[in-house]
Amino acid sequence: MPSPQASSQQEFPAPVSGLLIPKQNQDSRISKVKPVCLTFQEICYQVYDKSRKEDKLILKDVSGYAKPGEILAIMGPSGSGKTSLLNIIGARTVSTSGYLMKNGRPVTVQTKKDMGFVSQKDYLFPTLTVRETIRCYADLRLEESISASQKAQRVEDLLKLLQLEKVADSYIGDEISKGLSGGERKRVSIACQLVHSPNILLLDEPTSGLDASTAYQVVKILRDLASLGHTVICTIHQPRESLFNMFDRLIMLSQGETFYFGSIKDTLEFFAAKGYHCPQYANPADFFIDVLTGTSVSEESNVRKSIRASEFYDNQQGLQIVRSVEKGFTEALLESKAAEMQPLDDNVKFATGFWHQLVVLTSRSFKNELRNPLSSFVALSRTVFMSLLVGALYYRSKLQEPSAVFDRQGCIFFVLINVAFSTLASIRLFIEERDIFAQEKNSNMYRTSAYFLSKCVAEFPLLTVLQVIFAAITFWMVGLHDNG
Ligand SMILES: Nc1ncnc2c1ncn2[C@@H]1O[C@H](COP(=O)(O)OP(=O)(O)OP(=O)(O)O)[C@@H](O)[C@H]1O
Ligand SMILES: [Mg+2]
């Protein structure tokens, strides 16, 4: 059983100013990091498996805590429940049972505002530059009362902190139009989540797909953030030894159960006490995963076997430790003046108002439309083609002829069909941006209504121009101006 350090008041850092901001630019609304201790107790997560038609238990009685100034790593084999646990800790998924507490208070959906969540996949607009992307997040996540110059300064500080200055004006890009490298994209995602100086930063596999030195850079940044007072929690897949040692605390999962929770430096000792000695030159992270997956040999039994979590970790004892840390942290905060001066503002769901969100999102959508001319060109070609087709079908139909009334009816029918279908084409925008929207909405960045309206406003000029072109061609070709 690991022995996490006993909680004491000295252990908890006072609020600090975040992110290397020069003193003259510091604004408590932007840069103050409040020390937040996050505890999760007896978390169970069960889902209904549609294919097997039965309930599936994904997490079973998982307890632990993350403290400010520390990095908590969630490790385990693939499918062990790391992402599920991170989503629950980040209040993105609701657990079936258990408690999630932030400084002794239950975490609600509203409190997500002071969390930053970096998902495994990077959800970024390919048509925006790095600076514009971070600026957009600053506009949406920082209070409206903060001046534009302070926001701009914040963006510059983040570019510097995440070593993105060289690519600040490069487009993000995607698979088709190449832009940033994988490591740079990851750092942009982290920067976006840091603009509002979240007390808690959660990252799902921040090093996956990165080479060793880029992965080291990313974890080094997390280390720096932790030392600035942020509470950092990340999932990780078998990190190399130098990365592994940069974390402070570790929770190891296998099939949804806790195999270990405690300090990183106690891990080897803990496994050795259970009869699993890490070979001298082996990577501890690899060794632990081998033990969990039953590919390592116990010295006592000398057989390869799948071990149960209950043989390894005393959940009840672990839970007691989590509770005592929770109590210790809450008491320490209540006693300190910092807690009185900085109550956690949990009641405001969004950092900005509806109209501000609408302006920022519309401007982003406009930029996206303008820099993606191919889709506008396709829409224009389709409109010209349809209008020529309708024009040719009903070319110069004369009112004197009895059939002309029916011709005009048919023509108007075609025109209406075209209007309906051209607006339907706008649905593609929502499909393309669905993942980005889901991520941003999950972070409480804006209201759905503001996003929807911004899309309508941004699409309006193009749709209007297309309809005018269609009407102009059809009107003159059919001869609707000619009354007989
Ligand atoms: N909504 C769901 N419905 C059904 N099964 C689910 C659901 N969410 C997660 N699971 C299952 O729960 C298990 C844990 O998933 P999770 O994504 O948390 O694993 P992971 O440890 O993050 O894996 P990886 O390292 O591959 O990302 C998997 O077997 C997954 O298939
Ligand atoms: Mg995962």
Which is nearest to 291 in space by CA: 306, 313, 270? 306
Q: Say how many C-beta atoms besides its own lie within 10 A of residue 177's C-beta.
A: 12
Whole-structure pTM value: 0.81
Task: Tell whether 349 is covered by a domain.
Answer: no
Three-state secondary-structure class, residue 283: coil
333 and 376 both lie in a single domain: no
Which is nearest to 209 in space by CA: 182, 191, 232? 182
Residue 55 beta carbon below 6 angstroms from any ligand 1 atom: no
Provide the residue range defining the domain that includes 69.
Answer: 9-341
327 and 369 both lie in a single domain: no
Looking at residue 264, its amino acid is I
Task: Tell whether 348 is covered by a domain.
Answer: no
Q: What CA–CA distance (Å, rounded) separates 263 from 249?
A: 4
Quick one: pLDDT at residue 168? 94
336 and 359 both lie in a single domain: no
* CB proximity list for 158: less than 8 A, separation 6 or greater: 19, 134, 164, 191, 194, 195
Quick one: pLDDT at residue 47? 92
Nearest CA, atom 28, ligand 1: 79
Residue 47 beta carbon below 6 angstroms from any ligand 1 atom: yes
Average pLDDT for runs of 10 along the chain of length 484: 42 45 50 81 90 88 90 92 93 88 77 83 92 95 90 91 90 85 90 89 88 86 88 90 91 90 90 85 87 64 59 78 78 60 56 93 92 84 89 75 75 83 75 89 90 91 89 85 64
Quick one: pLDDT at residue 414? 82
Q: What CA–CA distance (Å, rounded) separates 65 from 304?
A: 32
Q: How far is the CA of 307 from the centre of ligand 2 (A)?
A: 22
Residue 82 beta carbon below 6 angstroms from any ligand 1 atom: yes
Residue 68 beta carbon below 6 angstroms from any ligand 1 atom: no
Q: Which residues place a Cβ less than 5 A from the ion ligand 2? A: 83
304 and 168 both lie in a single domain: yes
Quick one: pLDDT at residue 27? 54
Quick one: pLDDT at residue 311? 72
SS3 content of the chain, % helix, strand, coil (to 5): 50, 15, 35
Structural domain ending residue among the three candidates 341, 372, 395: 341
C-alpha distances out from residue 152 to 32, 111, 342, 383, Å? 17, 26, 25, 41
* Parallel/antiparallel/unpaired status of strands 231-236 and 54-66: unpaired
If one counts the domains in the chain, the total is 2
CA angle 206–208–210, rounded 5-degree value: 100
Task: Tell whether 281 is covered by a domain.
Answer: yes
Q: What CA–CA distance (Å, rounded) separates 76 from 169?
A: 38
Gyration radius of the chain's alpha carbons: 28
75 and 189 both lie in a single domain: yes
